[in-house]
A and B are shown apart, each in its own frame.
Chain A
Amino acid sequence: MDVLQIVALGLMATVLIVVVKSQRPELAVLLSVAAGVIIFLLMVGKISSIIEVIKELSERAGISMIYLGTILKIVGIAYIAEFGSQICRDAGEGAVASKIEFAAKILIMVLAVPIVVAVLQALLKLLW
């Protein structure tokens, strides 16, 4: 019944944010940050057990850990960047949100370069 907990937490946080927002919009932003972090922290244990299962499956399939590690890093960067940019956009700062997303895209590209190079090398081997 974790979903009931999460929904109750979200509704409660929403009501409190609406109450606070009319008087103190800056505290409403911090309140929504806190609600988002708490919901993620409630889910962290489940995410890590799913990742353990995926790791085990990839070991059984003989996939190199380098690729899985890269994918996990990309997911982590995407999550954190999304979190930050959503908060900025909620507070009305769309420009800062777009810059956070831009930086996250660049960082993900840097992480993906070795995989792209490996794919291209495999292609070249096939061609020649």
Chain B
Amino acid sequence: MGSSIDLIFKIAGVGILVSVLNSILKHAGKEEQGQLVTLAGLAIVFIWVIQLLANLFDQVKSVFRLF
């Protein structure tokens, strides 16, 4: 269970990191790379959350016998 609570910290960390990188890149005049960083962060977090959601759906299916 500890690893799944870690996920919240990981997502928040990615969010803060992405916004810091974004503002640095914007300062350096590379806004299109900032967009790419945003997209990459979103994709990484999306993969984590989708795995967690698949776990949730499996659990709900087995608990409530939805087949």
Across the interface, A20 reaches (CB within 8 A) one of B5, B15, B52, B63, namely: B15
Q: Contact between A51 and B42 (Cβ–Cβ < 8 Å)?
A: no
Q: Which residues of B contact A48 (CB under 8 A)?
A: 63
Q: Is B7 close to A, CB under 8 A? A: yes
Per-residue A-contact encoding for B22-62, CB less than 8 Å = 1, 0 else? 10000000000000001001100110110011011101110
Q: With A34-B8, A35-B8 as known contacts, state yes or no: A27 contacts B65, CB within 8 Å.
A: no
Cα distance A72–B62 when bound, in Å?
11
Cα distance A79–B65 when bound, in Å?
13
Q: Is A67 close to B, CB under 8 A? A: no
Sample (25) of A-B pairs whose CB atoms are under 8 Å apart: A9-B8, A12-B8, A16-B12, A19-B15, A20-B11, A20-B16, A20-B19, A23-B16, A23-B19, A24-B15, A24-B38, A27-B42, A31-B12, A31-B15, A33-B52, A33-B53, A34-B52, A41-B55, A44-B59, A47-B63, A72-B64, A72-B65, A73-B65, A76-B66, A77-B64
Give 10 A-B pairs besides A33-B53, A38-B4, A40-B60 with Cβ atoms closer than 8 angstroms: A12-B8, A20-B11, A23-B22, A24-B15, A24-B41, A27-B14, A31-B12, A37-B56, A38-B5, A69-B65
